[in-house]
Amino acid sequence: MIKIKDIIGLPTLEWHLNNKRTLSENVYRYSSESFIQLFTEARQAWRDGKIQLSEFDEQLLEDTDIGLYGVYESEKVPLDLPMVDEQMDIYDDIANSEFGMDYDQLGSNEQEWVRDEIDNLSEAEYRGKDVPLNKPKRGGSKKFYVYVKNGDKVKKVSFGGTTGLNVKIDEPGARASFAARHNCDKKKDKTKPGYWSCNIGRYWKSLGGSKNFSGYW
């Protein structure tokens, strides 16, 4: 999506535009009110000529009624949204387990962490072996390693220092200093060591720590 005019009163759409996310990269939990609201707001802005859409997103709005509502047995129901499987509750289960609140109540960093945990439930093959995706482990040629999807292949990413120094992740000042030095806000590529070094705090509990940390290292 490309922002071409000011979007006023359309908060879910504005967030996606500012963070350069398409409609198909909806960050909200599937079937949630915010998930549907994004499509509703996008339809309004697209109809009014305030945004341009990618070819895929434009086709999504043209070929479906997602974001629109109908009436079924006197109740307002979203259109083109299949009934939610019980598995969809896993978003809230993981969010409540780690952060004590529902997925929709989390900030964007915490939501991304939950989505990564969902990805971890599936495995991929690396050199003939089934491996978990997006789940950092200790060891390897550096402090940590993680398997990620790189196109249609699986890549092993090693990251962290080799000096043996302790990771001072429990110190807010150290985390902030590290994030500033390494430009963590610009590290978006999960196939690069820098992304995982900056975001290791989100996985700290599974690496033996007492808890996870939101935000950057």
The full DSSP string for 15-82 is HHHHTT--GGG--SPTTSHHHHHHHHHHHHHHHTT-EE--HHHHHHHHH--TT-EEEETTEEEESS-P
- Do 155 and 142 share a structural domain? yes
- Do 175 and 116 share a structural domain? no
pLDDT tens digits, residue range 162-194?
Answer: 654 456 677 778 888 888 888 988 888 989 999
- Do 205 and 140 share a structural domain? yes
- Do 38 and 24 share a structural domain? yes
| Residue 193, pLDDT score | 93
- Do 170 and 127 share a structural domain? yes
pLDDT tens digits, residue range 100-113?
Answer: 888 778 888 888 78
Count of structural domains, the chain: 3
> Distance between alpha carbon 31 and the CA centroid of its chain, in Å?
16
Which of the listed residues 47, 78, 109 is the one where a domain comes to its end?
A: 78
Q: Which domain range does residue 129 map to?
A: 122-217
- Do 216 and 128 share a structural domain? yes
- Do 107 and 71 share a structural domain? no
The residue type found at 23 is L
Q: Residue 118 — pLDDT band, cuts 50, 70, 90?
A: low
Query: Residue range 125-150: average pLDDT?
Result: 82
Instruction: Report the distance separating Cα 201 and Cα 217, nearest Å.
Output: 5
pLDDT tens digits, residue range 3-31?
Answer: 556 666 788 888 888 888 888 777 777 67
Which of the listed residues 78, 109, 141 is the one where a domain comes to its end?
A: 78
pLDDT tens digits, residue range 40-90?
Answer: 999 999 988 888 888 778 878 887 888 888 877 787 878 876 544 444 456
| Residue 89, pLDDT score | 57
pLDDT tens digits, residue range 201-214?
Answer: 888 878 887 787 77
Choice among 25-29, 95-99, 116-120, 153-157 with the minimum mean pLDDT = 116-120
| Residue 105, pLDDT score | 83
User: Would the pTM of this model clear 0.85, i.e. be above it?
Assistant: no
- Do 6 and 72 share a structural domain? yes
- Do 149 and 93 share a structural domain? no
Query: Residue range 30-34: average pLDDT?
Result: 77
- Do 126 and 187 share a structural domain? yes
- Do 153 and 103 share a structural domain? no
Q: Where are the beta strands (DSSP E) in 85-205?
A: 123-126, 129-132, 137-138, 144-150, 153-159
- Do 167 and 186 share a structural domain? yes
